[in-house]
Amino acid sequence: MATPRRIVLYHSPASRAFTAYWMLEELGVPFTVETVDIRKGDQKKPAYLKLNPAGKVPTLTDGEAVVSENPAIAIYLADRYGYGTLAPKIDDIERGPYLKWMVYSSAVVDPVATLHEQKIDLPGYSFSFGAFDDMVRVLSGVLKDRKYLLGARFSAADVVLGGTLSRLLYQKVLPKDPVLLDYNSRLTERPAFQRASDATWPAHLFPTPA
């Protein structure tokens, strides 16, 4: 594992920055947190926009390296600090599926689910990210007989896709598919998940839904 430089996570409560926080907790590397509260508009302040012109969270700095977007942050961290454990090595046969699920989370699951939440369900053949029902079927199918996305092996792909899945189940956007619920339950039992959840979704603000 590489020697950590000064890692800073720019994080907001109630945001997708949960995923990057969870990734850091799984790796066990030292990091500090700078709060960029999106509920107050902090992400649009000039100082933050210099780091992330898109004005979104999370952003991560590792020394002079600056990375944004959850999949990119997870790939960067896993390759640098968890190569061969949380990240399959480049010649590992699982490297391809691992990268696919990393991308699938933000390129398919998140946009399709967001549209579905707004009562917009587009025909899958007309759009690159496909249809909502197809997305649910794909996830349920791959996880039906597996503990994690790569089988028995937990990886950073589970952090990225699992972080999105957990949020969508909490918000009741996804159906109560037993396979997805079981997978989410395994993830939420992880101490690193719980620490990131406590930091991002504090219980006094976000009680467990009925």
State the DSSP string of 49-75.
HHH-TT--S-EEEETTEEEESHHHHHH
Strand partners, 148: 151
* Ranges of the chain whose pLDDT falls below 70: 124-127, 203-210
* 174 Rama sector, left if φ>0, alpha if ψ -120 to 50, beta otherwise: beta
Residue-level pLDDT at 66: 97
Q: What does each C-alpha distance from 156 to 20, 38, 56 come to in angstroms?
A: 10, 25, 21
Residue-level pLDDT at 210: 47
Residue-level pLDDT at 78: 98
Residue-level pLDDT at 208: 56
Kindly give the interhelix angle for 110-117 and 156-170, rounded to the nearest 10 degrees.
Answer: 0
Residue-level pLDDT at 204: 55
Residues 6 or more apart whose Cβ sits within 8 Å of residue 65: 5, 76
pTM of the predicted model as reported, rounded to 2 decimal places:
0.92
Q: Which domains, ranges and CATH numbers included, belong to the chain? A: 7-86 (3.40.30.10), 95-190 (1.20.1050.10)
Give Cα 46 to chain centroid, integer Å: 26
Q: Are 8 and 51 in contact (CB under 8 A)?
A: no
Peptide bond before residue 111 is cis, with ω within 30 degrees of 0: no
Please give the Cα distance from 150 to 168 (Å, whole number).
21
Give Cα 186 to chain centroid, integer Å: 15
